[in-house]
């Protein structure tokens, strides 16, 4: 479900967070689906539970998941969260595109690249 890459410069808690956020916003983790428990995931990834907890806490603060006391953590699919994510990604897209244009890459080259992507169902 989540994999770690120790060559990644991002800290572990961040990799976990980014991984789940991506699963959630892509729909791979549906609304109200349960996330692995803190202890369970910590064991399967062979890392400290506190590191998972840090990721979960941040995700809850940012509205990606909610927790039910004694039961576990569950995915949110709040419209506001999705909209925020879309906004951030669009901003990234613009930033990257502007830099590419600065570097002499044409709009058509960029568009062709996007057009060539495989859209999974």
The residues of the shown chain that bind DNA, judged by CB under 7 A, are 11-14, 35-40, 47-51, 53-54, 56-57, 60, 67-73
Region of 36-44, 45-53, 65-73, 91-99 interacting with a second copy (CB under 8 A): 91-99
Closer to a second copy by CB, 31 or 105: give it.
105
Determine if 111 is a binding residue for a second copy (CB under 8 A). yes
CA torsion through residues 61, 23, 33, 40, sign: negative
Helix (H) / strand (E) element for 66: namely: strand 65-68
Phi, psi for 96 (deg, rounded to 5) = -65, -45
Q: Say whether residue 80 binds a second copy (CB under 8 A).
A: no
Sign of CA dihedral 83, 84, 90, 94: positive
Q: Which of 3, 5, 26, 61 binds a second copy (CB under 8 A)?
A: 26
């Amino acid at each position: 479900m989540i994999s770690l890459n120790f060559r990644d410069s991002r800290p572990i808690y961040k990799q976990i967070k980014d991984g789940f956020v991506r699963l959630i916003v892509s729909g791979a983790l549906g609304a109200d689906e349960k996330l692995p428990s803190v202890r369970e995931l910590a064991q399967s990834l062979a890392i400290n539970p506190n590191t998972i907890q840090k990721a979960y806490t941040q995700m809850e603060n940012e509205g990606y998941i909610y927790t039910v006391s004694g039961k576990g953590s569950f995915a949110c699919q709040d419209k506001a969260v999705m909209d925020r994510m879309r906004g951030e990604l669009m901003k990234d897209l613009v930033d990257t595109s502007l830099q590419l244009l600065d570097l002499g890459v044409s709009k058509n080259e960029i568009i062709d690249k996007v057009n060539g992507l495989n859209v999974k169902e």
